[in-house]
Amino acid sequence: MQNSILSFFLILYLSIAGLFADAELNLPFKVGERLDYDLSWGFLPVGSAIMEVHSLKKVKDELCYLVKFSVRTNSFADKFYKVRTTIESIVSSDFKKSIRYKKSQEEGKTKKNISVDFDYKQGRANYYQDGSLISKTSIPSEVFDPLSIAYFFRLNDLEPNKEITLPTCDGKSFRKIVVRTGSRKKISVPGGSFNVIETIPEMQNLRGVFKKSPNSILRVWYSTDKNRIPVKISSKVIVGSFNAKLKKSVGLK
């Protein structure tokens, strides 16, 4: 159960689908956007999650966005597997590449602070844990971290039955993540009813980058309106199904 819960929380900020576009001209989100989610295991509520666009700032002489994801379990789930994790991503303003990635992790007995610096001049990602340099990973000229792709893939309209590949790095491993889009439908969540399109990450490509349960099936539904927000995330594993459903949204563009 513990591995399944962790897998679900991690995949929430991995939620991805879409095609590349000139983001600088027409981003579907703005500073101040906040998306709140209810997390459940079957019919049982287990916590909440928040995705936010915080600010524009200059990093390495480049104008960047700061986006943030946080998740926490409720008092019921804390008894089994307590989670208090916050992730930050600093992304170029055109959303073509990640600049920095930080994770403050408290999950079960695991407590650590991770930071990744993407050094494109040297062609490597430097991975730090609790302030110490742990590893260096070779990267191409443009790469995304696990959080930034959730926003990058909101840039374009999604088309059914497509396959998309993205260069992704969490600092320790580089992978080309493959995501397939499915069909369009209408779903209802606590935050309202939405026309959505389904996306399905191919889990075998995530080995070494994200923890996951064997044979788990993950699906993410993005709204097909101008905001293209992740409305629902579902993870089906041996011990049941985990769901994140949009509760409310503020600061939409």
Q: How far apart are CA 218 and CA 201, in angstroms?
A: 7
Check residue 235 and give its pLDDT.
80
Torsions phi, psi of 170, nearest 5?
Answer: -100, 10
Question: Which pLDDT score, from 0 to 100, does residue 103 have?
Answer: 94
Q: What is the pLDDT of residues 136-172, one digit of tens each?
A: 999 999 999 988 888 877 888 888 999 888 888 999 8
Q: Does residue 31 surpass a pLDDT of 70? A: yes
Domain ranges of the chain: 2-244
- Tokens 């349960």 belong to 213
Task: State the average pLDDT for the chain.
Answer: 84
Least confident of 14-23, 66-75, 240-249: 14-23
Average pLDDT of 238-247? 83
What is residue 207's predicted lDDT score, i.e. its pLDDT? 36
Q: Is the pLDDT of residue 7 over 90?
A: no
98-107 and 110-119: which strand pairing?
antiparallel
Q: Is the pLDDT of residue 211 over 70?
A: no
| pTM, 2 dp | 0.83
Instruction: Tell me which fold the domain 2-244 belongs to.
Output: YmcC-like fold (2.40.360)
Give the closest residue to 245 by CA, choosing from 91, 18, 2, 47: 47
